[in-house]
Every structure is written in C-alpha cells, then in structure tokens.
C-alpha cells in the first residue's frame, strides 16, 4: 500500500510508483487538485494497470487536517493487513510535513521521490507514543479539562505514581508544549495546550 501526498503534478507520484513496491494507491489531496487533469491522468494510468486510486480528501493548507487524514489512512489500511509506505513528494509543504509527522507517529516508512528515491529518517515500528511514559500519558488523560496541579497529582497517584513522578511528567509535557501551566489566583492550573490538543488526541 502506497499513500502519497498529491498536488497538481502527477509526475511526482508516478516516480514513486516506479521506485517503490505497492499493490494499491491512496492519494492525500484537496482543493482544486481534486478537479485537475493531473488526478485524471493518475487514475487513468492506474486503471490501465488494473488498479484503482483511493482519495483521502484533506485541506492541504491545514496541518491538523492533513495529519489526521494521513494517520487515519495508515491505521485503516494497516488494520486490514497491508504493509504501508508513505511518499511525501507531492502537494503543499503543509501536507508533506503533516504526512511525514503522521508516518513518524505510526512508525511506517516515509519516502521523498523526486530526482531519486530518498528514504526519510522514520524508524519502522518506532512511534512518538514510545516517548510517552505511562505517567506522562496518565497526566495527559487527566487534563481533558483544566485542573489544579494538585488535583492532577491526586488523580494520577491513584494509578500508582509518586507525586515527584507526576510533577516531572507535567514539566516534561509543558516543555514540549503538550500542556500549559498557568497561575490563577495563586493556583497552578494544568491544561492541554490548545495549539497541540489535536495532536495529543492521536497519542492517547
């Protein structure tokens, strides 16, 4: 299974099809590219070879949309037993960057196929979730809504973690902008960072 970003230039996808093994093609695309001649030519080429093209519609200028679309496609086809690769050489920079991040999160191969096939530094089977220890995940789960740091510690301690471990996890998550810590009326309030909340949801 090859999942590829796509803009208007079908040659970038065709290069990937020549260089990478695949048995079916999924395109991540949106906007005017869905109505352009490039997509029609790609569909015709796949049809001539007995294949089909699945379209995953995303907003190519919206990072969360592109990330979620890519990750959903990876997980759906992997559940069906497919070996998934991702090509990020087409489409907008936003789309390509989001697809690369989704590949890293899912732990699947990522490629950039332009002048030559270049495998990007994504480790198969290694995901961003691996960096989230159980206590860090527990903190993220606890702050689905803003809570005082003391209440976060109380909740997470019920799962068997020490207060020191909870505080260290909050600090780790804050430094990586997964959570924010604000002092309101002398009380430290922990909440998910709204800028990264869409990404955090994919980690839990």
Mean of pLDDT values over 84-96: 95
Query: What per-residue confidence (pLDDT) applies to 148?
Result: 95
CA-to-CA dists, residue 24 to 20, 74, 166, angstroms: 11, 13, 45
Specify whether the CB–CB gap between 100 and 128 falls below 8 A. no
Mean of pLDDT values over 2-20: 94
* Band of pLDDT at residue 110, cut at 50, 70 and 90: very high
Domains and CATH numbers, the chain: 2-119 (3.40.50.10770), 132-203 (1.10.10.10)
In b/e form, how buried is each residue of 160-191, taking b as 16+ CB within 10 angstroms? ebeeebbebbbebbeeeebbbeeeeeeeebbb
Report how far residue 196's alpha carbon sits from residue 155's, in angstroms, rounded to the nearest whole number: 23
Query: What per-residue confidence (pLDDT) applies to 131?
Result: 75
Query: What per-residue confidence (pLDDT) applies to 51?
Result: 87
Share of the chain above pLDDT 70, in %: 96
- Higher pLDDT pick, 126 / 95: 95
Specify whether the CB–CB gap between 199 and 140 falls below 8 A. no
| Angle in degrees, CA 97, 132, 196, rounded to 5 | 45
Look-up: residue for tokens 């690769």?
Answer: 85
Q: Mean pLDDT, the chain, as a whole number? A: 91
Of 18-32, 61-75, 188-202, least confident by mean pLDDT is: 188-202
Asked whether the predicted pLDDT for residue 22 surpasses 90, the reply is yes
Q: At what angle do helices 63-79 and 93-106 cross, to 10 degrees?
A: 40
Helices vs strands, H then E, count in the chain: 8, 9
Query: What per-residue confidence (pLDDT) applies to 102?
Result: 92
3-state secondary structure 111-141: EEECCCEEECCCCCCCCHHHHCCHHHHHHHH
| Angle in degrees, CA 54, 105, 191, rounded to 5 | 115
């Amino acid at each position: 299974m090859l999942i590829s970003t796509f803009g208007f230039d079908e040659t970038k996808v065709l290069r990937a099809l020549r260089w990478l093994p695949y048995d079916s093609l999924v395109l991540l695309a949106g906007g005017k590219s869905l109505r352009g001649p490039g997509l029609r030519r790609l569909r015709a080429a796949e049809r001539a070879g007995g294949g089909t093209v699945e379209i995953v519609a995303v907003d190519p200028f919206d990072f969360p949309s592109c990330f979620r679309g890519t990750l959903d496609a990876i997980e759906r086809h992997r559940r069906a037993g497919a070996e998934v690769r991702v090509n990020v050489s087409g489409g907008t920079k936003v789309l390509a960057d989001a697809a690369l991040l989704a590949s890293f999160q899912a732990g699947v191969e990522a490629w950039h196929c332009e002048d030559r096939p270049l495998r990007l530094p994504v480790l198969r089977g290694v995901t961003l979730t691996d960096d989230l220890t159980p206590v860090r995940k527990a903190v993220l789960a606890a702050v689905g809504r803003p809570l005082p740091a003391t209440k976060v510690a109380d909740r997470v301690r019920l799962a068997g973690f020490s207060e020191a471990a909870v505080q260290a996890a909050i600090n780790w998550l804050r430094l990586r902008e997964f959570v924010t810590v604000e002092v309101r009326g002398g009380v430290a309030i922990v909440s998910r960072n709204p800028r990264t909340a869409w990404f955090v949801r994919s980690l839990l």
